Amino acid sequence: MCGIFGVTGDKDTTELLIHGLKRMEYRGYDSSGICLNNEELIRKRAVGPLSNLEPLVVDLPDSKCGIAHTRWATHGAPTVENAHPHVSSELDVAVVHNGIIENEVELRNFLKSDDKELEFESETDSELVAHLLSKELKKINSKIKNITEDQILSSWKNVIDKLEGSYALAAVISGREDSILFARKFAPLILSHDGKRGLLASDVSCVVGLSESVFYLEEGDWGIIKDLGVKIFNIDGDTVELKPKKLEWELGDAELGGYPTFMLKEIYEQPRVVRDCLRGRLSRDKIKGVKIPYHPRLLRIVGCGTAYNAGLLARYYIEQLSKIPVILDHAHEFRYGAPSGPKSLVVGISQSGETADTLAAIDAAQERGYPTLGIVNVESSTIARNVDHIIGIRAGPEIGVASTKAFTGQVLGGLLIAMKLGQDSKNFHREDLSYFDRHARMLPTSMERMLNDQNIKTKLWEAQQYFSGKNHAFFLGRNTSYPIALEGALKLKEISYIHAEGYAGGELKHGPLALVEEGTPIVVIASEGSSHKKLLGNAREVSSRGAKVIFITHQEDELADSHADLVIKVPRTHDLLQPLMYNIICQLLSLNIAEERGCNVDRPRNLAKSVTVE
């Protein structure tokens, strides 16, 4: 969600703060702001994208310390008053915050009871932290310059002990021109220090190119970062000695690289994701490097949004190849159900590895004594550190808010689990793996050929016309194409703002058919075997009621042409891999439609990357 960034010990602080905000604007773009820490705090804020803030910081004085924020609104509308950084009444403390303070009402009442004249500038929960720290400091000495560092740290600990909920916090104090206080609870926060310059950020994309290694703070860690070093304490106040870890990504991974949008770039990176994800793990006779911490009789998969859709496809794969039953849960609902049945292996899927609901589900599973496995992109993330084992999907930074390449990696991660369990249970045999391996090695080339096929590009343009002036659309699938229908509908609604729903074809007659009218665009995604023939029947049903049918299938399908207004055919591959080919077509279709409607595909309204609040 929101992104925070801090710099200390560099004369180009303003430039670096803007650089950091640009790197993580995908975390929120309702407003942004910076605060420089000189003898006095200098604050600039703006509503809307970062480009609205940049003109305001051009002539700011030099500073060696500052904090910055890009906001996804949770408490209060996107206004200048609600934009971060927030300051205390005396303008002696400034704070940036990612998360939600759940005891906001109690803290607001506490502050007002102590100072009835206190006026809150914003509607946010975050502002309260600035007032609380200012209040704690004044208990010690009205002149902040006379307060020692130990006293400042004690005051900061008193503040964070009062907070309930989730937070990644950074605070600066007027006159302390080399110091940033920080704290982390249930929200990501990393630090970097090279002996002269300290950096603080919500995620690694901000520091790629600025540092080669970072410190990953653990739950409850807090402390102070200065130009000369870092002090980190745990929740009990004990000193923590963290070892820096080398960054996984390089500078070019987080840049456009000649593409007009990150979404298009990341769609075109999917052949590389397939190669990297399967490299060293797949061979003709066995699955390697995939550790499953338990041999289960039942699996529980948890995820949100695109990760949930990838989990649904993984469920089909696992049940088909291993014969082990799978229950799929929305991560935010998992912890509310009572555990039942055999001891389960819980698999959490998350691109960032910081998704709050998925992290909470993993915690709930571990409290119940369940072994856990994570499918994540960021292998240094909180989920990756907390689960028993991980499968890193190796997709590289995903900057576009609407997930594309991560879905491909997540599906492959689920497929690797399915094949490993299938081998262990003697249901997926060596000859099956050899046949799959042959097709998997050819898949990246098939994807590249498809992405550059001029005929497919023409078909996509034709399909795009069916959505002109439309505000409703449907995606239909069955069996392994049903998750692609869900994901296709999600992409279209995320970036084009067309109301789109994905359905299993068998559900049509149970309600959704009532919504089909003349000209309704319906995307049908091919399946395999008998379920494919049923989808052809579904296509006929909606067509007879005036719908415009776009059928996505493979080049060997000879039946689709007589059942649709437009057919898009992709290269044929293994049945288990074919859904990935169809999904890329859905991604490209959604992107084209969104751009035709003038939408910003990298920064869709009301959404943000890495959902770190529940």
Active site residues: 2, 609
Residue with tokens 């998350």: 350
The interaxial angle of helices 270-278 and 578-596, nearest 10 deg, is 150
Name the 3-class secondary structure at 19.
helix
The CA distance from 440 to 432, in Å, is 12
Beta strand 372-376 with 345-350 is parallel
H/E/C letters for each residue in 367-393?
HCCCCEEEEECCCCCHHHHHCCEEEEC
- Report the length, in residues, of the chain: 614
**Distance between CA atoms of residues 297 and 327, nearest Å:** 11
Over its C-alpha atoms, the chain yields an Rg (Å, rounded) of: 26
Q: What is the DSSP string of 221-267?
A: -EEEEETTEEEEE-TTS-B--PPPEE-S--GGGGS-TT-S-HHHHHH
Contacts of 545 (CB under 8 A, 6+ apart): 513, 516, 517
Question: Closest by alpha carbon to 92, among 160, 41, 42, 151?
Answer: 41
Q: Concatenated DSSP letters for 26-79? A: GG--SEEEEEEESSSEEEEEEESSGGGTGGGGTTPPPBSEEEEEEE--SSS-S-
In contact, 348 and 361? CB cutoff 8 Å? yes
DSSP, collapsed to helix, strand or coil, labels residue 213 as: strand
From the number of C-beta atoms within 10 Å of its C-beta (0-12, 13-18, 19+), residue 59 rates as: exposed
Contact status, residue 31 vs residue 406, Cβ threshold 8 Å: no
End-to-end CA distance of the chain: 10
